[in-house]
């Protein structure tokens, strides 16, 4: 999808059409989650700090992200693609792979017709602009889709090809035209490392002698193979999540330990909700702390039993927080559940009170109450009374879990870090507290 979040805002508010639209938060540390092509004409890019974006494009219209709406549209996208005979893999909210069955050796003209049909159906069903790339591997089709997108020329948006077909046999020529940065797994650091060694394009990378590639280790070997068109990744309908995580960057560093504990409690509540939404339980809890000086600490703890209960996750998270501390201040906290599995056999307890509360049942009630009375109706007690409600973020179940456009998916533990990995457009600290605290206690009136 082309600038998905921004296009969705235009869809729901047609008055925005043709205007530079930015989607993102408004806090001092917010970044641009999505920018319309008009805004890109001003030099705004995705993942750019919002302040910088507004400096470049002061006339931009800024909209808060509405993840719930984007997920709806994403579901439409999936439904549209699933009407074709093939396998659909969502690679984020706004990106998907479709492996079409029985179309091998179709010939470029028929392939092009297929691409046009896919694009037309998506644009009709989702009512948002889309670009389609066809290729023999995921890598090639992704880059082809990128090549089909609109671009900016002389500060003005220029429509793209819409559909780009890379015929069989032409993959390498197509790949080699790209800069190395276009390959997945090449972020800023890798790109500049390669550049210092004279590798600018995928062609340069492919030309590296085997002896050099070997020295570069596994990562370089993989990239080198990619440069030769090797991409064995299959299109799989449902990817098994390896971890589910939520994280949040605060507009102002957290320096007080108890405030960081509150933050972890709130993250645990969000993580638990996401786990239960996915029908999973986590065996291990991992805490991620980014300090004021950008130093990163992660600690993990394996639980006695897998859980999707916020209080258990929160207790483990706070325990991990004790082991790393808040240092001189914390800018980001993240909590991830790994070792995911569907709820399994549960050992019953001799204690009629269950040797502790029956969190599965309690969580079920919690979810039901929130479903009916809203996400703020019930929350962790320790967050009560800390509220400063000033507009609740929409997705209160998972504070800080709003992803960058195209990043809505369980993060894979082994995923290569990329630019734009910083989640963005999150509720501010006060909003987070407002979301769960509200200071009004108890269950809201129906």
DSSP three-state, residue 112 = helix
Q: Kindly state the number of chain residues that form the binding site for another protein, as judged by CB under 8 A.
A: 14
Residue 238 binds another protein, judged by CB under 8 A: no
Residue 351 binds another protein, judged by CB under 8 A: yes
Residue 343 binds another protein, judged by CB under 8 A: yes
Task: For residue 272, give the H/E element and its range.
Answer: helix 257-277
Using CB under 8 A, pick the residue from 350, 414, 442, 446 that binds another protein.
Answer: 350
Give the alpha-carbon dihedral of 270, 273, 279, 280, to 10 degrees: 40
Segment contacting another protein by CB under 8 A, of 98-106, 337-345, 367-375, 383-391: 337-345
In angstroms, give the least distance from the CB of 369 to another protein. 23
**Do 92 and 407 form a contact (C-beta atoms < 8 A)?**
yes
Residue 346 binds another protein, judged by CB under 8 A: yes
Segment contacting another protein by CB under 8 A, of 76-84, 178-186, 342-350, 392-400: 342-350
Residue 323 binds another protein, judged by CB under 8 A: no
Residue 348 binds another protein, judged by CB under 8 A: yes
**Residue number with CB closer to another protein (351 or 414):** 351
**Residue number with CB closer to another protein (159 or 279):** 279
**Could you tell me the two tokens for 431?**
């909003």
Using CB under 8 A, pick the residue from 341, 365, 413, 444 that binds another protein.
Answer: 341
Using CB under 8 A, pick the residue from 28, 279, 355, 364 that binds another protein.
Answer: 355
Residue 393 binds another protein, judged by CB under 8 A: no
**Residue number with CB closer to another protein (306 or 334):** 306
DSSP output for 179-229: BGGGSTT--HHHHHHHHHTT--BHHHHHTS-HHHHHHTHHHHHHHHHHHTT
For residue 246, list its beta bridge partners.
335
**Could you tell me the two tokens for 343?**
């709820």
445 an active-site residue? Answer: no
Q: Which of 389, 380, 374 is nearest to 444 (CA)?
A: 374
**Residue number with CB closer to another protein (52 or 319):** 319
DSSP three-state, residue 82 = helix
Residue 317 binds another protein, judged by CB under 8 A: no
Residue 215 binds another protein, judged by CB under 8 A: no
Segment contacting another protein by CB under 8 A, of 151-159, 175-183, 347-355, 395-403: 347-355
**Residue number with CB closer to another protein (306 or 410):** 306
**Residue number with CB closer to another protein (79 or 341):** 341
Residue 349 binds another protein, judged by CB under 8 A: yes
Residue 306 binds another protein, judged by CB under 8 A: yes
Residue 357 binds another protein, judged by CB under 8 A: no
Segment contacting another protein by CB under 8 A, of 58-66, 90-98, 350-358, 398-406: 350-358
In angstroms, give the least distance from the CB of 356 to another protein. 8
**Residue number with CB closer to another protein (310 or 330):** 310
Residue 362 binds another protein, judged by CB under 8 A: no
x/- track of binding to another protein for residues 265-304 (CB under 8 A): ---------------------------------------x
Residue 239 binds another protein, judged by CB under 8 A: no
CA distances from 107 to 111, 114, 219, 260, 417 (A): 6, 11, 35, 59, 37
**Residue number with CB closer to another protein (211 or 347):** 347
* Burial class of 348 by CB neighbour count within 10 A (0 to 12, 13 to 18, 19+): exposed
Residue 414 binds another protein, judged by CB under 8 A: no
Segment contacting another protein by CB under 8 A, of 52-60, 163-171, 324-332, 338-346: 338-346
The whole-angstrom separation of Cα 406 and Cα 160 is: 20
Q: Which of 1, 146, 34, 25 is nearest to 404 (CA)?
A: 34
Q: Which of 324, 299, 301 is nearest to 312 (CA)?
A: 301
CA distances from 99 to 77, 90, 113, 136, 235 (A): 15, 12, 15, 9, 6
The whole-angstrom separation of Cα 124 and Cα 113 is: 16
Q: In what order do the strands lie in the sheet with 61-63?
A: 32-35, 21-24, 61-63
**Residue number with CB closer to another protein (71 or 239):** 239
Listed in sequence order, the residues at least 6 apart from 15 whose beta carbon sits closer than 8 Å to its beta carbon are: none
* Burial class of 173 by CB neighbour count within 10 A (0 to 12, 13 to 18, 19+): exposed
Instruction: Report CA torsion sign: 211, 217, 221, 227.
Output: negative
In angstroms, give the least distance from the CB of 348 to another protein. 4
List contacts with another protein (CB under 8 A): 304, 306, 341-351, 355
Positions annotated as catalytic residues are 95
């Amino acid at each position: 999808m082309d600038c998905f979040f921004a296009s969705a805002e235009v869809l729901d508010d047609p008055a925005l059409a043709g205007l530079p639209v930015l989607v993102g938060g408004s806090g001092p540390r917010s970044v641009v989650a999505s920018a319309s092509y008009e805004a890109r004409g001003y030099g705004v890019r995705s993942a750019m700090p919002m302040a910088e974006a507004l400096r470049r494009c002061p006339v931009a219209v800024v909209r808060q992200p509405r993840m719930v709406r984007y997920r709806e549209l994403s579901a439409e996208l999936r439904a549209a693609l699933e009407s074709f005979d093939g396998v659909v893999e969502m690679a984020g909210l706004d990106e998907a792979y479709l492996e079409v069955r029985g179309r091998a050796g179709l010939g470029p003209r028929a392939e092009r017709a297929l691409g046009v049909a896919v694009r037309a159906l998506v644009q009709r069903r989702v009512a948002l602009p889309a670009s389609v790339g066809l290729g023999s591997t995921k890598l090639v089709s992704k880059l082809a889709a990128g090549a089909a997108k609109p671009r900016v020329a002389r500060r003005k948006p220029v429509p793209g090809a819409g559909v780009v077909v890379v015929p069989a046999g032409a993959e390498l020529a197509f790949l080699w035209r790209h800069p190395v940065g276009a390959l997945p797994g090449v972020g800023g650091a890798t790109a500049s490392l390669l550049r210092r060694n004279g590798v600018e394009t995928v062609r340069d990378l492919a030309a590296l002698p085997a002896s050099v590639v070997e020295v570069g280790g596994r990562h370089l070997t993989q990239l080198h193979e990619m440069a030769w068109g090797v991409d064995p990744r299959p299109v799989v309908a449902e990817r098994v999540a390896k971890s589910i995580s939520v994280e949040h960057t605060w507009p102002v560093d957290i320096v007080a330990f108890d405030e960081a504990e509150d933050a972890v409690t709130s993250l645990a509540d969000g993580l638990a909700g996401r786990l239960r939404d996915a029908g999973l339980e986590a065996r291990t809890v991992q805490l991620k702390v980014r300090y004021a000086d950008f130093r990163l600490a992660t600690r993990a703890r394996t639980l006695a039993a897998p859980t999707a209960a916020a209080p258990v996750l929160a207790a483990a998270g706070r325990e991990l927080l004790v082991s790393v501390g808040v240092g001189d201040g914390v800018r980001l906290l993240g909590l991830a559940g790994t070792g995911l599995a569907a709820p399994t056999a549960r050992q019953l307890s001799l204690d009629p009170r269950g040797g502790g509360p029956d969190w599965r049942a309690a969580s079920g009630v919690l979810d039901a109450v929130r479903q009916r009375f809203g996400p703020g109706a019930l929350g962790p007690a320790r967050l009560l009374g800390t509220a400063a409600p000033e507009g609740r973020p929409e997705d209160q179940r998972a504070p800080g879990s709003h992803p960058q456009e195209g990043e809505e998916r369980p993060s894979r533990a082994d995923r290569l870090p990329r630019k734009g990995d910083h989640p963005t457009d999150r509720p501010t600290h006060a909003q987070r507290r407002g979301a769960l605290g509200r200071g009004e206690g108890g269950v809201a009136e129906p």
